[in-house]
Structure 1
Amino acid sequence: MHTAHGAQYTSRACADVCRRAGVRQSMSAIGSSADNALAESFNATFKREILQGRKHWSSEREARIDAFRRLNRYNTRRRHSHLGQRSPIAYERALDTTSTTLAQAA
């Protein structure tokens, strides 16, 4: 869970709940609104795509499966303008190829 440094997120109670739920916490840099921009953009897109027009799921399992499907699509098929109209996984594969090529050339 990525958050700002608000008291509700830095409290021991919040840390305890996260630990029990198996949630790893991370926080933005102090005084930097841009640090959280990527997470906020992703969360907004995820919420819009998964919750739009949805009232409920019949079970927690169904909600988890639906969320997994959306995240899988986001990482493997959904093209992003910032990545040159490539999916995140295609972009990372291209970086891996470039890094290997440069390392071998050196």
Structure 2
Amino acid sequence: MRLNSDRGTQYASAQITAFAAENGITRSMGLTGICWDNAMAESFFATLKTEFYYRRVWPTRDRATREVGAWIEDRYNRRRRHSSIGQVSPVDFELQYSSETAEVQLAA
């Protein structure tokens, strides 16, 4: 997710800072004490872990990667209703937004 990340020492260490600079990597980090910077990412990962990941045993890393991706695409994006977007799924929200935007452009 392209959101501000945790400011844990493993992410803010001098070694990571130097590695990022040497390799042209721009890091995105929230400000200290601003707890809502990464609230959306925290919420997503909490949901993923609680509703899906920790309920299964993964025989291989590859299988876990594929099944997590499938869960995100099917359950999280297409079927799970989100309170922050009016109790609709992200896919339905995007479709509604696209329709409204197209109608406004046609009317103009």
The DSSP-based 3-state class of the residue aligned with 2:55 is coil
Aligned to 2:78: 76
**How far apart, CA to CA, are the structure 2 residues paired with 1:8 and 1:100?**
45
Q: Which runs of 4+ in 1 moved over 6 A?
A: none
1:91 aligns with 2:68: no
1:42 aligns with 2:75: no
TM-score by length of 1: 0.73
Aligned to 2:10: 8
Q: How many residues align?
A: 100
Identity score, percent:
37
Aligned to 1:66: 67
**How far apart, CA to CA, are the structure 1 residues paired with 2:98 and 2:32?**
32
TM-score by length of 2: 0.72
**How far apart, CA to CA, are the structure 1 residues paired with 2:71 and 2:27?**
22
Letter in 1 for 2:29: M
Letter in 2 for 1:95: Y
Q: Encode CA deviations 1:66-95: one digit per residue, 9 max, x unaligned.
A: 101210120112122332221101101111
* RMSD across aligned positions (CA): 2.6
Q: Encode CA deviations 1:45-64: one digit per residue, 9 max, x unaligned.
A: 0111123333x311112111
